[in-house]
Structure 1
Amino acid sequence: MHKVMMGLARGMAVAGGVVLSALIVLTCLSIAGRLLNGAFHSSLMQGIAPGLSRWMLDLGVGPINGDFELVEAGVAFAIFAFIPLCQISSGHASVDVLANMLPRGVNRFLRMVTEALFAAVLVLIAWKLFDGMMSKKSYGETSFLLQFPVWWAYGASLIGAVMAAVVGVYMAVVRIIEFLTGRIRIWDGVETDQ
C-alpha cells in the first residue's frame, strides 16, 4: 500500500513540477515580450529602424495576454500537487526542541495526533475546495482577460487536494497503528530511537 501511495504522491509532484516549469517559461516569455514591446515603441527604435519596429509590433510582440490568470491558476494546482509528497515523506517543517527530550511513546503519540489533525485539515480543505468549485461553476464565473471558467482552476487544484487528503488519511492510519502496536511501519528519518 505504501508503494502505491508513494507512487501517487510522486506522480502528483511530477505533474506539479511540469506545470510550475511551464509557468516559469510563460512568465519569462511574457516579461521578455513586455520589454521588447516597450523597446519597439520607444522613440529610439522608431527613429533607427521604424520598419522593423512596426513589423515586430504587427507580429504581436508583447506580453502574453492573461499571463497572470494562468500563473494564478497554475500555481494553485502546483501547491496542491506537492502536498501529498510532502505529507508522505514527513517533509513539513517541525520544531522538535522540546519533543526530542520526551520519551519515545510520547513522541509517537504526538506524531499520531499531528498526522490525524493534518488528515482532518486536508479533508476539510478538499471538501471546501469542492464546494467552492461547484459554486463557481453554478455562477458561470470566468476570468477577466482569458474568459476561461474559474471552476477549471478549482477543479485542477481539487485533484491535488483530494490526493493530499487520501495520503493524509493513509499516513494518519499508519501513525495510529504505529502508536497502538509500538512498532514503526514507515521509517522516514523523523522517528527517534530514544
Structure 2
Amino acid sequence: MHKFMMKLARSMAAIGGVVLTLLIVLTCLSISGRLLNGFFHGDLMASLAPEFAEWMIAIGVGPINGDFEVVEAGVAFAIFAFLPLCQITAGHASVDILVNSFSRGASRFLRMVTEIAFAGVLVLIAWRLGAGMLSKLHNGETSLLLEFPVWWAYSASLVAAVVAAIVGVYMGAVRTIEFLTGRILIWDGVETDH
C-alpha cells in the first residue's frame, strides 16, 4: 500500500512540477514580450528602424494576453499537487525543540494527532473545493480576459486536493497504527531514538 501511495504522491508532484515549469516559461515569455513591445514603441526604434518596429508590433510581439489568469489557475493546481508528497514524506515545517524532550510514546502520540489533524484539514479543503467547483460550474463564471470557465481551474485543483486528502488519511491511519503497536511502519527520519 505504501508503494502505491508514494507512487501516487510522486506522480502528482511530477505533474505539478511540469505545470509549474510551463508557468515559468509562460511568465518569462510574457515579460520578454512586454519589454520588447516597450522597446519597439520607444523613441530609439522609431528613429532607427520604424518599419521594423511597426512590423514587430503588428505581428503581436508583446505580453501574452491573460497570462496572469493562467498563472493563477496553474499555481493553485501546483500547490495542491505538491501536498501529497509533502504529507507522505513528513516534509512540512516543524519546530521540534520541545518535542525532542518527549518520550517515544508521547512523540508517537503527537505525530498521530498531527497526522489526523492534517488529514481532517485536507479532507475539509477537498470538500469545500468541490463545493466551490460546483458553484462555479452552475453560475457559469468565466475569467476576465481569456473567458475560460473558472470551474476548470477548480476541477484541476480538486483532483490534486482529493489525492492529498487520500494520502493524508492514509498517513493518519499509519501513524495511528504506529502509536497503537509501538512499531514504526514508515521511517521518515522524524522519529526520535530515546
Q: Which residue of 1 aligns with 2:115?
A: 115
Instruction: Report the equivalent of 2:161.
Output: 161
**Equivalent residue of 1:187, what SS?**
coil
User: How many pairs were matched up?
Assistant: 194
Give the letter for the 1:13 counterpart. A
What is the aligned partner in structure 2 of residue 90 from structure 1?
90
Superposed CA RMSD: 0.4
Give the aligned partner of residue 151 of structure 1. Answer: 151
Counterpart AA for 1:152? W
Offset at residue 182 of structure 1 (A): 0.5
Aligned to 2:137: 137
Please name the residue that 1:47 is paired with.
47
Superposed, 1:62-73 pairs within 5 Å as: 62-73=62-73
Identity rate, percent: 72
Aligned partner of 1:124 in structure 2 is 124
Task: Spell out the pairing of 1:23-34 with structure 2 (5 A cutoff).
Answer: 23-34=23-34
CA–CA separation in structure 1 for the residues paired with 2:57 and 2:155 = 36
Q: Distance in 2 between matches of 1:102 and 1:80?
A: 32
TM-score by length of 2: 0.99
> CA–CA distance in 2 between the matches of 1:34 and 1:98?
51
Q: Deviations over 1:116-165 (max 9, x none)?
A: 00000000000000000000010000000000000000000001100000
Which structure 2 residues correspond to residues 98-109 of structure 1 after superposition, within 5 A? 98-109=98-109
Displacement of 1:166 after TM fit? 0.1
Structure 1: gaps of 5 or more residues: none
Q: 1:7 matched to which residue of 2?
A: 7
Cα displacement (A) at 1:47: 1.0
